[in-house]
Structures are given as structure tokens and as C-alpha cells.
A = this chain, B = another copy of it.
Amino acid sequence: MIYEILKEDIRTKARLGKLKTPHGEVKTPVFMPVGTQGAIKTLSPEEVEEVGAEIILSNTYHLFLRPGYEIIEKAGGLHSFMRWNRPILTDSGGYQVFSLARLRKIEEEGIHFNSHIDGTRYFYTPELVIEIQRALGSDIVMPLDICLGYGASYWEAKEALEITMRWLKRSLDYKNKNGRKDQILFGIIQGGFYRELRKKAVEEMVGLDLEGFALGGISVGEPKEMMYEITDYTLDLLPKNKPRYLMGVGAPEDLVIGVSMGIDMFDCVLPTRLARHGVFYTSFGRRNIKNAQYKEDFSPLEENCDCYTCKRFSKAYIRHLFLQHETFSYRLLSIHNLRFLFRLMGRIRISIQEGRLDEFRKEFLSNYLRNDRENRLEKEEIWSRLLI
């Protein structure tokens, strides 16, 4: 067993656990920063480790296109290529290929698509996706799936799920015959926002030889309440002894709420992407460094934050660099945002340990959502309901 539950919360469905991978153990619940191209944008591997990351995510699709998995294999695998010696999870690229819209064509055998970079035509099959990840040497690998957007009809979602399930079995077969024994394969649960389909997916999947479950097709444009609702519903169907990973989700409120529902793993580009737009996290919601109020503010991004950025630089300095398009400011904000999430995950884990996650969740959400200054209206609408 790669996953071990250390403690279950009583008043929520949260679990404290650990995940064993070829590159070491990971404390769960865990947040995984995203290194799409084999680097967490603007950061060195040492900085990623220093902010508290134990496992990172990278993308099979992007690395397949550039630089090509043969090159990474020759470099000794992705860990060696990018100089990250802790666990790596690689996403299959189902979501990326799905995003190509008119540039891709799905058939039973696999997906034809044109590269978003230069239009080159490729044929992606479940077997190829496992083979690429074998070459990359990731610790946790994902099968090719069909990820639909919000608004897909029941029949579309049903058909996509059926193909996804057949592909999952092909992925398992290929991995058993040609794959690496030490790589961990998760199943991706699809089914859109239809309970019946999610249930069907789980029922078929629990019989398979999978080491964890990922919830896919979530955070694809739906209202947040629907995301929470289908996540909660699906999680309740899953066996407890395997890790659950909510793909592509990771706003601070989602981490707290997702953990309470029983999620063990998250990944999200938000902390680093927001940083490049000047947005930084605080316990009282998001702020934007461009704001004129920070012009002469010589205090750190957040008082009491222990990150490199907050220990050394002022908002006034970071604002100046950001407005002058100095990339060092993106690094400084990325470090802070990631550290914010890792400190949050640390507090979540301690709260589970101490049996007070429910209080922590209420307190955090109240402070964070009520005072958020970015997308305020969108949030206003949901926070009152979340805080009931």
C-alpha cells in the first residue's frame, strides 16, 4: 500500500496520511505546485523546496512536445533533467489536449491533435501516454482521459466516460506489460456533473488495480458550489484506503473545503500565475501589488510570514519592480504565494491532528473570503453560503 491514514477527523471527512513514492514520502493532505515545462515558473528547485513543496506536478503533454521525452530519458529522467529529487506526479495531458478544441479529434484508438506550438500532427494513445511517463520516470503517473468542460450534456459525458474507462484499462494493461513496477498509476474519475455517471465511474474503477483516485473534469468553468457538490458526492463513494487527488484545484478556500471533504492531494497553477499578475495571498484574502496604497508601504507582503520575500523585501520595493516589469518581482510574489499555501496546508494538517479542523476552516474562510479584494463580487455571492 502506498497510502497510509494516520488520523481521521471526527467532525469533517478530512484524513491525515502519508503517501509513499519511489522518491520519498509525502505528508497528506498535500498541495503540488505546477512545473508545466519542467520548472516551476520563475523558481529554482531549491526555492521550491524551501517554500515547503514535497511533491510537484509536471505535464506529459508539454514535455512530449518540448523538449521531447526521448531527450529527458537520455538525461536520466525528469528528476535528473530538472534537478528535483523529490516525488513528481505527471498529468497525462487529457486536459491540455481537450483545451485544443478544434485542433483535436477523438476516436476509440486515441486522440489526433495538432501541436499548439507549430501545428505538427500527433497521435496520442493511452499506451503512448504511459510510455512517455515511463521515460520521464515520474513517481505518480496519470492515464489518458477525456476531460469535458462545464455544460457538456449527459450523453456527451456518458460517452466520454466510457472511452475514458476503456482507455484506463488499456493504460493498466500497457503499464503491467511494459511499464515500470515502481510507478504509481491513479485512475481519473470523469462523468461531468452527473451523479449517476460519477457513481458508475467509481464502481468500475474500484475493481481495478489502481493505487489512487483522481477527480477529473472539475474546475472546468462550473459554479464553485457545483464543484464542491460533485466532489463531495464522488468522494463519499470511494474506498478510504487509497489517496484522492482533486485535479487542477487549489485556491486557498478550495484547499480548506476540499480537505474537509476528504481530498488528500491538490495541484494548481494559481499561486504562480497570480504572482505574475501582481496578486498575492494574505490571510485576509488576495491583494494586488499594483495598488497605489502600497507605494510607500515598507512592510512585508504579510506580517508574520516566514518566506524569503517577506523576511527581506517591502511591498514598496516589490511594487516598484513589478511596475517596471522586473522578473525578480514575479519570483518574489511566487515564493510568497506558494509559501502561503504550504503554511496553510501545514495548519490544516495540524488542525486535523488536533481534531479542530472544523473551527479552523470556519475561521480561515471567514477571514479570507470576507476580506478578499480580487474578484470581490464573485466571492461575495458564495462566501455567505459557504459560511453557513
| Chain A residues packing against B (C-beta within 8 Å) | 37-39, 41-44, 66-67, 71, 74-75, 81-83, 295-296, 298, 312-314, 316-317, 319-321, 323-324, 326-328, 330-331
In the complex the two chains form, is A42's CB within 8 Å of B327's CB? yes
In the complex the two chains form, is B42's CB within 8 Å of A295's CB? no
Copies, count? 2
In the complex the two chains form, is B37's CB within 8 Å of A295's CB? no
Complex Cα distance, B310 from A71, in Å, reads 19
> Nearest 6 pairs between A and B by C-beta?
A67-B320, A37-B324, A327-B327, A39-B328, A83-B312, A39-B326
Known: A41-B328, A66-B324, A67-B316. 5 other contacts (CB 8 A): A37-B326, A42-B327, A74-B296, A82-B317, A327-B330
Report B-chain residues with C-beta under 8 Å of the C-beta of A313: 83
In the complex the two chains form, is A328's CB within 8 Å of B71's CB? no
In the complex the two chains form, is B314's CB within 8 Å of A42's CB? no
Most B CB atoms within 10 A — which of A44, A74, A314, A316?
A44
A118, chain B: closest CB distance, angstroms:
12
Report B-chain residues with C-beta under 8 Å of the C-beta of A324: 37, 66
In the complex the two chains form, is A66's CB within 8 Å of B296's CB? no
In the complex the two chains form, is B320's CB within 8 Å of A38's CB? yes
The residue of chain B having its C-beta at the shortest distance from the C-beta of A329 within the complex is B39
In the complex the two chains form, is A314's CB within 8 Å of B39's CB? no
A71, chain B: closest CB distance, angstroms:
6
Report B-chain residues with C-beta under 8 Å of the C-beta of A37: 320-321, 324, 326
The residue that A74 contacts in the complex, of B66, B67, B298, with Cβ under 8 A, is: B298
The residue of chain B having its C-beta at the shortest distance from the C-beta of A82 within the complex is B317
Report B-chain residues with C-beta under 8 Å of the C-beta of A71: 295-296, 316, 320
